Amino acid sequence: MERENRSLKELFQQEFSKMVAVISKQFGLQHIELAEDIVSETFLLAAETWGMKGIPENPTAWLYVVAKQKTLYHFRRTKIYEEKVVPELAVPSVEDEPDFSTQNIRDSQLQMLFAICTPAIASEAQIGLALRILCGFGIDEIAEAFLSNKETINKRLFRAKEKLREEKIKMELPPENEIASRLDNVLHILYLLFTEGYYSKTQNAILRKDLCLEALRLCLMLTEYKSTDEPQTNALLALMCFHASRFNARQTSEDALILYEDQNEALWDQALIQQGVYFLERSVQGEEITSYHLEARIAYWHCLKEDSPEKWEDILYLYNQLLTINYSPSVALNRAFALYKVHGAPAALKEAEQLRLEHSHFYFILLGELYKAIDVNKAKSNFERAWSLAKTETEKENIQQKINNLAQP
């Protein structure tokens, strides 16, 4: 029974989004909630049937057949009712059953990705919809990822779907002349989705990894279509590969965070690093340098453990460029650390203290590191401030260790 539950859960994550995308494409995005209900009912029937009879030889095919039957039954029943009882209401055609072929699934998911990433919906709601509709995450998992509750997430998703209906968003790729601008928004959402997993506050290690892998999968899908296989798409995919390659080295078996300098290089996924190099090389074919290109180059350097002057000089150069393209406090903070590695603590302190990021524990961790060799008391004071601002017990433990190390000869 445990094996059946595990298999069904894995199938749900793999197939839920595909089935919802295909049904929504055929009958219209205004029926997206109905598509979710039909697919959920299909999995509920699978749980009941397989629990008694065992898992079928081809469980995916079983799910598709049942989903087709349920879809046709619902729309035929609705059509009869509305033609005879409420004739003024139009219903979708039910002449053809849903097409669950591999190509149609991929096309439907790509179109769904562009539909969800419409500028008409706020970024946070877009991420929630992407997790639910494109990644097959349950409401509980989405709530945990956002450090929220089921009621809040349900309301957010409901409002987002209402917006899709109000704006009459269609499941189709934008016209050729609009793809570039719409692709920027799609890539931004995938970047945020990956970041939500990589820097997640949740203690669920499996969930954090799943978030990153789903963002990777969707970004890879974009590279498989000529109209979306752009240099910036490949740059973002390279960035994700480099970061994901160190995922297993970032935490202990007890889920404690392992800082970069303490990571075991043998645990880095070399195959993912090579994939990152491949997509980074593909990304240089265009004329525009985006923030994804720069961040991918920086992430590549962090896949090389040696601490050479060349490495940090190039990282500092890349951060200088990144600040001019896409300024953010976190980029400025990371640049200050690179400045420290190249020109030493005094030069880095001069610039870091001007940032005045008073609510960031990362800021005070950096100040503590920079003061270590200059003024131990100031280093301790900054680490203590960082400890008070840290949001998780893991972060507090790491900062406390830094404070303890200061007291050691």
Do 60 and 11 touch, CB atoms closer than 8 A?
Answer: yes
Global confidence as pTM: 0.83
Residue 80 phi, psi (nearest 5): -60, -45
User: What is the separation, in whole angstroms, between the first and last Cα of the chain?
Assistant: 57
The confidence score (pLDDT) of residue 2 equals 43
Helices (H), 201-344: 205-223, 231-244, 270-283, 291-301, 309-325, 329-343
The confidence score (pLDDT) of residue 89 equals 41
257 forms beta bridges with 251
Tallying the residues shown for the chain, one arrives at 409
The confidence score (pLDDT) of residue 238 equals 98
Do 274 and 236 touch, CB atoms closer than 8 A?
Answer: no
Give me the percent of the chain exceeding a pLDDT of 70.
Answer: 90
The confidence score (pLDDT) of residue 236 equals 98
The confidence score (pLDDT) of residue 398 equals 85
The confidence score (pLDDT) of residue 182 equals 87
The confidence score (pLDDT) of residue 265 equals 87
| Residue stretches of the chain with pLDDT short of 70 | 1-6, 78-96, 200-207, 252-257, 259, 408-409
